[in-house]
């Protein structure tokens, strides 16, 4: 692909959201979650325009100031050219709080309690029609507007918020190359049967309007192909990773595991603020430090993690007062009732565990409910055990960031249902996220492991994590885009 081919990125969450500072000015703050980290790598590598939703009133104000067009923002030494799209607030609320999270997010993480929820009522169907579709159309319109200046362009769409947009773009500009990266798991066919048939069809039609559909793992790629075949009877080639869309086009389906930028991350780990937090951790630390860092999301399996720790303390009382569990949890999607309740249950369980085992000068679990990257990185450096026990997770970058900067040969407890597990299994302690006894045993094993084994595991993890960077990830995708545009054979292109 020519270096000059314009690249347009589209995602719901952009690189930053705007906040009003005390002096009244609007300042950008970096957006949370793995997607922003991934796309920042992409921007770094190639000049790209990034189209995203205005997610707050402050974002909308900034968008208006720029007449709805593109503008430049400097953030953490990176310069972003962005365009924020303002949707009708009611439509956006339905899009984000009713359809994207929870409906699609839950389906794609097997989170529905099928014996209880979900119920699809008129409200959900209307939220899809007048919320999800509307925001997708708004973002698609911005893409079409920006693409007007170009004879050719590659549009890279990201994640589960934008399944319908490709169809809208293709209708107007069939010449644009459409690439869609799904950062969360793609579940097996039956999970999708929760959706009413017409919505399901609309979503798959939308996704199949792309030229390439991409995932973090081979397992999600396989599931997507299986879904196309089983739910819609489409012709698929599992080996080549190709599905024939209803309109006869070939769509390539690919897996590109997302790396982190070791260089950038190590640089961030040297910031003075990080050192400040480190001093505080070292002053207060007990013999062992257990850490988890997550958005407070149901998929992250935070309750079972604390239950496992509770079991561990009960079964190994000799560790009482010797170990502290720091949990950095970033409150997330708090307008969705399921997320609010989840956070309440987390706080209640922590209170129970602390009451059961704590003493006058030892609190077993320290809950830090805030987003503070520097504080979290300081904790990364000094943990003895990192817990990543997600129920399902598209990739999970915490599992890569922690081991990269950790200085104590810390052990990783890693759910076998995370995307990162496909790469890191050999050197992590793999756990079944539902088996709390296994997790309790893994905590004990990690804290009693020989120094040699800890070093072997920690070095193994560092080696794998540092071997690839986002540049490779981007190059692999651009190479496939070029191969497909040139009409090459999908198997030969691999
Ligand atoms: C996950 C999703 C992203 C999302 C992020 C944060 O990583 O894959 O698309 O941006 O969570 O969630 P939020 O709802 O705050 O954007």
3-class secondary structure for 107-163? Answer: HCCCCCCCCCCCCCCHHHHHHHHHHHHHHHHHHHHHHHHHHCCCCCCEEEEECHHHC
Quickly count helices (H) and strands (E) in the chain.
20, 18
Which of 11, 33, 108, 158 is the best mutation target for the ligand 1 pocket, counting ligand atoms within 8 Å of the beta carbon and taking the most? 33
Q: How far apart are CA 468 and CA 436, in angstroms?
A: 33
Q: How many CB atoms lie within 10 A of CB 147?
A: 20
pLDDT tens per residue across span 331-377: 999 999 999 999 999 999 999 999 999 999 999 999 999 999 999 99
- Quick: pLDDT tens for 320-329: 999 999 999 9
**Which of 109-118, 309-318, 478-487 shows the lowest per-residue confidence on average (mean pLDDT)?**
109-118
Average pLDDT over residues 403-423: 98
Cβ of 333 less than 6 Å from ligand 1:
yes
* 13 C-beta closer than 6 A to ligand 1: yes
The pLDDT-based confidence of 117 (bands split at 50, 70, 90) is low
pLDDT at position 44 over 80: no
Give nearest CA residue, ligand 1 atom 1: 33
Average pLDDT of the segment spanning 384-404: 98
> What pLDDT is attached to residue 355?
98
DSSP H helices in 177-257: 189-192, 197-207, 218-232
Q: How confident is the model at residue 211 (pLDDT cuts 50, 70, 90)?
A: very high
Report which protein residue has its CA nearest ligand 1's atom 14.
Answer: 333
Angle at CA 322, nearest 5°, toward 416 and 430? 10
Question: Is residue 94's pLDDT more than 80?
Answer: yes
Query: How does pLDDT run across 118-144, given as a tens digit for each residue?
Result: 789 999 999 999 999 999 999 999 999
What is d(CA 100, CA 33) in angstroms, rounded to the nearest whole number?
15
Residue 485 CB partners (closer than 8 Å, separation 6+): 1, 177
Residue 184 CA: nearest ligand 1 atom is 8
CA of 161 to the centre of ligand 1 (A): 9
332 lines ligand 1 (CB under 6 A): yes
CA distance 29 to 21: 11
**Burial per residue of 86-121, b for 16 or more beta-carbon CB atoms within 10 angstroms, e otherwise:** bbeeebbebbbbbbbbbbbbbbbbbbeeeeeebeee
Q: How far apart are CA 362 and CA 123, in angstroms?
A: 48
How many Å lie between the centroid of ligand 1 and the Cα of residue 476?
23
Per DSSP bridges, beta strands 7-11 and 323-330 are unpaired
What CA–CA distance (Å, rounded) separates 138 from 85? 7
Q: Which two tokens stand for residue 406?
A: 């950790």
- The rounded Å distance from CA 34 to ligand 1 centre is 7
Measure the CA–CA gap between 432 and 425, rounded to whole angstroms.
12
Closest residue by Cα to atom 4, ligand 1, is: 33
* Closest by CA position to 439, among listed 390, 381, 366: 390
Q: Mean pLDDT over residues 19-28, rounded?
A: 94
DSSP helix/strand/coil, 49? strand
Q: What's the chain's average pLDDT?
A: 95
Report the half-sphere exposure of 442 (CA within 13 A, side-chain side).
24
Strands (E), 21-123: 26-30, 49-53, 71-75, 78-85
Ligand 1 pocket test target in 35, 102, 182 with most atoms within 8 Å of CB: 35
Better pLDDT: 32 or 92? 92
Distance, CA of 23 to chain centre: 33
CA 207 to chain centre: 19
Instruction: Indicate whether residue 184 lines ligand 1 (CB < 6 A).
Output: yes
How far, in Å, CA of 94 to CA of 89, rounded? Answer: 9
Question: What pTM value is reported for the model?
Answer: 0.96
Task: Enter the tokens of residue 377.
Answer: 């990185």
- For 28, the 3-state DSSP assignment is strand
The pLDDT-based confidence of 5 (bands split at 50, 70, 90) is confident
The separation between CA 213 and the C-alpha centre of its own chain, rounded to angstroms, equals 17
ipTM exceeds 0.90: yes
Closest C-alpha to ligand 1, atom 3: 35
d(Cα 481, Cα 114) in Å, to the nearest integer? 39
Question: Would you call 435 exposed, middle or buried from its count of C-beta atoms within 10 A (0-12, 13-18, 19+)?
Answer: middle
Identify which of 213, 159, 152 has the alpha carbon closest to the alpha carbon of residue 183.
Answer: 159
Strand-pairing partners, residue 113, are none
> Is the per-residue pLDDT at 494 higher than 70?
no
What is the per-residue pLDDT across 166-197, written as a single tens digit (0 to 9) for each?
999 999 999 999 999 999 999 999 999 999 99
Give the rounded distance of the alpha carbon of 84 from its chain centre.
21
pLDDT above 90 covers what percent of the chain?
87
Distance CA 321, CA 390 (A): 27
Ligand 1: centre distance to CA 90 (Å):
20
Residue of the CA atom closest to atom 12 of ligand 1: 33
CA of 21 to the centre of ligand 1 (A): 24
Confidence band of 493 (pLDDT split at 50, 70, 90): low
CB burial of residue 149 (10 Å; 0-12, 13-18, 19+):
exposed
What's the CA gap between 373 and 268, in Å, rounded? Answer: 9
- pLDDT of res. 33: 72
Length of the chain: 494
Please report how the helices 218-232 and 197-207 are oriented relative to each other, as an axis angle in degrees rounded to 10.
Answer: 130
User: Does pLDDT of 473 surpass 80?
Assistant: yes
Q: Is the pLDDT of residue 1 over 70?
A: no
Q: Judge contact between 46 and 4, C-beta under 8 A.
A: no
d(CA 128, CA 210): 21
Q: Shortest CA distance to 462 belongs to which of 402, 387, 420?
A: 402
159 CB less than 6 Å from ligand 1? yes
Residue 237 has phi, psi (to 5 degrees) of -115, 105
Structural domains of the chain ordered from first start: 7-88+132-258+471-486 (3.40.50.2000), 262-466 (3.40.50.2000)
Q: Kindly report the number of other CB atoms within 10 A of residue 264's CB atom.
A: 18
């Amino acid at each position: 692909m020519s270096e000059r081919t314009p690249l347009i990125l589209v995602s719901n969450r952009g690189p930053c959201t705007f906040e009003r500072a005390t002096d009244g000015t609007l300042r950008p703050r970096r957006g949370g979650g793995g997607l922003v980290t991934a796309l920042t790598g992409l921007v770094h590598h190639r000049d790209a325009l990034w189209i995203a939703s205005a997610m707050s009133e402050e974002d909308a104000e900034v968008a208006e100031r720029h007449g709805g067009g593109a503008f430049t923002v400097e953030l953490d030494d990176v310069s972003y050219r962005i365009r924020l799209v303002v949707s009708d607030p009611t439509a956006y609320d339905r899009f984000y709080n009713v359809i994207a999270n929870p409906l699609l997010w839950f389906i794609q993480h097997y989170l529905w309690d099928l014996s209880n929820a979900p119920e699809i009522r008129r409200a959900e169907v209307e939220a899809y029609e007048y919320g999800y579709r509307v925001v997708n159309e708004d973002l698609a319109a911005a893409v079409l507007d920006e693409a007007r200046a170009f004879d050719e362009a590659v549009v890279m769409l990201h994640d589960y918020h934008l399944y319908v947009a490709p169809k809208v773009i293709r209708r107007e500009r069939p010449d644009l190359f459409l690439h869609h990266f799904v950062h969360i798991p793609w579940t097996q066919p039956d999970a999708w049967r929760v959706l009413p048939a017409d919505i399901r069809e609309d979503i798959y039609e939308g996704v199949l309007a792309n030229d390439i559909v991409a995932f973090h793992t081979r397992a999600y790629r396989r599931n997507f192909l299986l879904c196309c075949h089983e739910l819609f009877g489409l012709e698929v080639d599992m080996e080549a990773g190709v599905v024939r869309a209803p309109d006869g086009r070939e769509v390539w389906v690919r897996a590109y595991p997302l790396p982190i930028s070791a260089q950038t991350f190590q640089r961030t780990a040297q910031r003075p603020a990080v050192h400040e937090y480190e001093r505080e951790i070292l002053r207060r630390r007990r013999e062992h430090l257990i850490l988890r860092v997550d958005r407070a999301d149901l998929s992250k399996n935070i309750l079972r993690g604390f239950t496992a720790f509770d079991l561990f303390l009960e079964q190994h009382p000799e560790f009482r007062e010797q170990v502290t569990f720091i949990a950095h949890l970033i409150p997330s999607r708090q307008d969705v009732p399921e997320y609010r309740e989840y956070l309440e249950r987390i706080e209640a369980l922590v209170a129970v565990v602390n009451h059961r085992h704590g003493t006058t000068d030892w609190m077993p679990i320290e809950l830090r409910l805030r987003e503070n990257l520097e504080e979290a990185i300081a904790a990364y450096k000094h943990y003895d055990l990192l817990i990543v026990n997600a129920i399902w997770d598209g990739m999970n970058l915490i599992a890569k960031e922690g081991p990269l900067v950790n200085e104590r040969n810390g052990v990783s407890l890693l759910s076998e249902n995370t995307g990162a597990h496909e790469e890191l299994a050999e050197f992590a302690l793999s756990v079944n996220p539902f088996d709390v006894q296994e997790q309790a045993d893994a905590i004990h094993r990690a804290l009693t492991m020989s120094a040699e084994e800890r070093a072997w595991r920690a070095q193994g993890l560092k080696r794998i994590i540092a071997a690839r960077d986002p540049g490779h990830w981007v190059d692999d995708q651009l190479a496939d885009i070029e191969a497909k545009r040139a009409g090459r054979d999908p198997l030969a292109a691999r």
